[in-house]
Structure 1
Amino acid sequence: MDAVIIAAGFGSRLRDISESKPLTPVAGKPLIELGVRQAAAAGAGKVVVVTGHEADRVEAYLPQLAREAGIVIEAQRVDDWSRPNGFSVMAGASRVDADFLLMMADHIFAAPVLAGLAKAGGADRGVTLGIDRRTSSPLIDPDDATWVKTDDRGFITAIGKTILDYDAVDCGAFLATQELPAAIAAAIAEGKSGSLSDGMQWLADRGRAATHDIGSDERASWWLDVDDPRAHELAEAQAPAMLSEIYG
């Protein structure tokens, strides 16, 4: 299994802390390092890092990180990082051959979250999304969250930032097949903007978007989207304990 980490965006809400979101330190470790080490701990043998904004700086850091983490890391630069994140997904997926973990560079997870997700694939789905049913958790930013509505099988019926009827929140981690980048391309062909959510909804409409419930154990299901100064402060305080396999 490989992993793809999306690290191309501008990261405007963290600009007061760092010029590059992937290189933003959390308790002394850049977010991209946390992501790579988490992917390796979940079983990934190679990590593709999709770069865009501040690509030169991020890519310059990757060889050192590969040596220290003991994992193959490849950089895949997107032509226009201002486009929706689905274009980054397609770019990263072009560098892997089979199922892959898909992660966002600004999301961090307790080890059981990704370990469980990595085992959640099946022939009945084109993608499996990690979801949290604790939709009122204080760790979630409701103004930035991507919400999810599921059916009685746990498959997605609707996904997006503005849907009003939901029962879970998107954790920012996926076990994807090559159906996902193909779905993003199909959604673009139908006139959509090219977001990851567009591709997810395309698969959901065809009954191919499953979920993996990360559970409710406070430690084993901990995750955080480090997207703004408030979340960064939470990460500084909580990440070393929650990511003990990385911080030691």
Structure 2
Amino acid sequence: MDAVIIAAGYGSRLASLSPSKPLTPVCGVPLIEIGIRQAAAAGVTRVVVVTGHRADAVEAFLADLSQRVNVAIEPVRVADWSKPNGYSVMAGASRCAGDYLLMMADHMFDSDILAALLKVGSETRDVTLAIDLDTTSPLVDPDDATWVKTNADGFISAIGKTIPVWDAVDTGAFLATPRLAEAIATAIAAGKSGSLSDGMQWLADRGRAATYEVGGAWWMDVDDPRAHALAEELAPRHLTAAFAPT
């Protein structure tokens, strides 16, 4: 199974700690390495990393990392990394022949979440998003979270940072089919900005965006110095694959 990791953005809220968000270390291990190690522990054998800001440094690190962790890593550089993240999803998806695990470089996941996602694909869904029903967790930043409203069948009815009603939070991990990139492109053609949420909403409106509830498994978004400090404290307890000796 392939994974696509989005690592192109500037990461302004972490800029005081590191010039590159994906290379920001947590307990000495860069975020992008943590993500790749956790994905490999879940069963991923090839990772496409979409780069942009400080791409040369990120890609040089990935070349070395591929040798150290024995995982095929393919960087794909986007020309304009200031565009919404849906453009990065489309770039990464273009290098995958079929379904793929989609992750954000600044999110960390218990490998159980990722392994479970790899098993939930079906003909009834074009994308499955890992969601957390604990929307008041101290690890969730309400000012930056992407919220999710689900229906009675557990499918997504609405998704976005500003939706008025929600019952879950987007963890940043997805099992995607090629239809997700197609949905983002369709949303752009209809006048949307090109965010991942635009494509997700397009699929949700058609009953094709499913969810997987993480059920207490550990994850967090490392998006600012406060979250980074929490990650340094908590991540080694939960992400054993990422911090295993090499």
Shorter-normalised TM range:
over 0.9
1:24, distance to aligned residue in structure 2 (A): 0.2
1:228 alignment partner in structure 2: 224
1:39, distance to aligned residue in structure 2 (A): 1.2
User: Is 2:45 the partner of 1:49?
Assistant: no
1:205-236 deviation per Cα after TM superposition (whole angstroms, max 9, x unaligned): 000000000002xxxx1101000000000000
In 1: Cα distance, 2:242 partner to 2:12 partner: 27
TM-score under structure 2 length normalisation: 0.98
1:107, distance to aligned residue in structure 2 (A): 0.3
Three-state SS of the structure 1 residue aligned to 2:138 is coil
User: Is 2:238 the partner of 1:242?
Assistant: yes
Where structure 1 has 5 or more consecutive residues not aligned to the other structure, the ranges are: none
1:63, distance to aligned residue in structure 2 (A): 1.2
1:128 alignment partner in structure 2: 128
Tell whether the 8 Å contact from 2:101 to 2:176 is kept in structure 1 after alignment.
yes
Aligned partner of 2:192: which letter? K
User: Is 2:82 the partner of 1:86?
Assistant: no
1:82-124 deviation per Cα after TM superposition (whole angstroms, max 9, x unaligned): 0000000000000000110000000001121111111111110
Map 1:46-195 → 2, pairs under 5 A: 46-195=46-195
Aligned partner of 2:132: which letter? D
1:7 alignment partner in structure 2: 7
User: Is 2:30 the partner of 1:34?
Assistant: no
In 2: Cα distance, 1:231 partner to 1:63 partner: 28
Aligned partner of 1:224: which letter? M
1:245, distance to aligned residue in structure 2 (A): 2.4
Aligned partner of 1:108: which letter? M
TM-score under structure 1 length normalisation: 0.97
Three-state SS of the structure 1 residue aligned to 2:5 is strand
In 2: Cα distance, 1:47 partner to 1:244 partner: 19
Between stretches 38-47 and 149-158, larger displacement belongs to 38-47
In 2: Cα distance, 1:68 partner to 1:241 partner: 22
1:194, distance to aligned residue in structure 2 (A): 0.1
Tell whether the 8 Å contact from 2:98 to 2:178 is kept in structure 1 after alignment.
yes
Aligned residues: 244
The root-mean-square deviation of aligned C-alpha atoms, in Å, is 0.6
Over the matched positions of the two proteins, sequence identity in percent amounts to 67
Aligned partner of 1:114: which letter? L
1:120-140 deviation per Cα after TM superposition (whole angstroms, max 9, x unaligned): 111100000000000000100
